[in-house]
Amino acid sequence: MSPKISRENFIRSISDLLRKAEIELPDDVVNALRKAETSEENQVAKSQLQAILRNIELAKKHGVPMCQDTGIMIFFTEIGTEFQPGFDLEAAIREAVILATAEVPLRPNAVDPLTRKNSLDNTGIGIPDIHWKFVPGNQLKITAAPKGAGSENMSSLRMFNPTEAGNIKKFVLETVMNAGGMPCPPLTIGIGIGGSFDAAARLAKEALLEPLDAPMEGLEKEIFEAVNALGIGCMGLGGSTTALAVHVKTAHCHTASLPVAVNIQCWANRHASIVFRGEE
């Protein structure tokens, strides 16, 4: 029998997961940045990519967040239909965010949208942002994906007419052009097509979690090549790498609508996952 995880151990594990996400980039992201640095011919952009890689190295070495904007706390969860934690998972994740804010430490970023009053612990109404998906089995997978405002503010959503599918590429390119260097490229670009107004945005954010070394085909490859042809480059200083990857997720939508969302991520595509197994 696998021991049932205690609430205290769960909170500690999620706090440690946030620490890892803030301090250490996934291998596929680091490898994509190294590949960009190797191939970059623009010396200004190349020096910026070298600085990014050095920053990643120092963050891991000294155990500190790789960016001063530690983001808002976003979690994607896949919970098995047979998994029984024995405690309120959402409340425990909230406590883990408070713990990580104090211990890592994380910059307090959660504010009331109107009064702008800061909660000081990265929690509040609707924050942390937790998304639940039920799957078969007896385990719980949680992915922490802190998201900074610099890239999030450059994201976009448009409700197209069903006949305008041919304009999706143009919409993505306009979004990237308008963003310029503000979201700290090179970017990962997640695109959600279909669903509803809010579902398209969720698909776009989930697309950011796809491995950067996963093959890009069709529309993904077409947009990827077009984005890099813009010449915005690392930190908006020119060069051949504006995007590290483009990934698209789709969902069926209403016959009378075509929602399209573009979620932009900076070079620090931060996320980390942990799996808890239930009793056997």
pLDDT digits (tens, 9 = 90+) for 149-196: 999 999 999 999 999 999 999 999 999 999 999 999 999 999 999 999
Q: What's the confidence (pLDDT) of residue 280?
A: 63
- Whether 68 and 122 have beta carbons less than 8 Å apart is answered as no
Spatial neighbors of 223 by CB under 8 A, at least 6 apart, are 169, 172, 173, 189, 191, 246
Whether 113 has a pLDDT exceeding 50, the answer reads: yes
Rounded Cα distance between 202 and 126, Å, is 15
In a domain, 213, yes or no: yes
| Inside any domain, residue 41 | no
Q: Dihedral of the CA atoms 189, 160, 198, 170 (nearest 10)?
A: 10
Per-residue pLDDT averaged across 10-15, rounded? 98
Residue 60 belongs to some domain of the structure: no
Domain assignment present for residue 279? The answer is no
The pairing of strands 243-251 and 187-194 is: parallel
- pLDDT greater than 50 at residue 1: no
Q: How confident is the prediction for the chain on average, in pLDDT? A: 97
Residues of the chain with pLDDT > 70: what percent? 98
Strand-by-strand arrangement of the 74-80 sheet: 129-135, 74-80, 139-144, 272-277
pTM: 0.95
Is a pLDDT exceeding 70 seen at residue 77? yes
Range of the domain at 185: 149-265
Q: What's the pLDDT score for residue 279?
A: 75
Mean pLDDT of 55-62: 98
How high is the pLDDT of residue 10? 97
- Confirm whether 196 is domain-assigned: yes
Average pLDDT over residues 106-111: 98
Evaluate if residue 148 carries a pLDDT over 50: yes
Q: What is the pLDDT of residue 2?
A: 44
Closest listed residue to residue 267, CA positions, set 212, 192, 200? 212
CB atoms within 10 A of CB 22: 26
In a domain, residue 251? The reply is yes
For the chain, the domain total comes to 1
**Residue 261 and residue 152 in contact, taking contact as beta carbons nearer than 8 Å:** no
Q: What is the pLDDT of residues 230-243, one digit of tens each?
A: 999 999 999 999 99
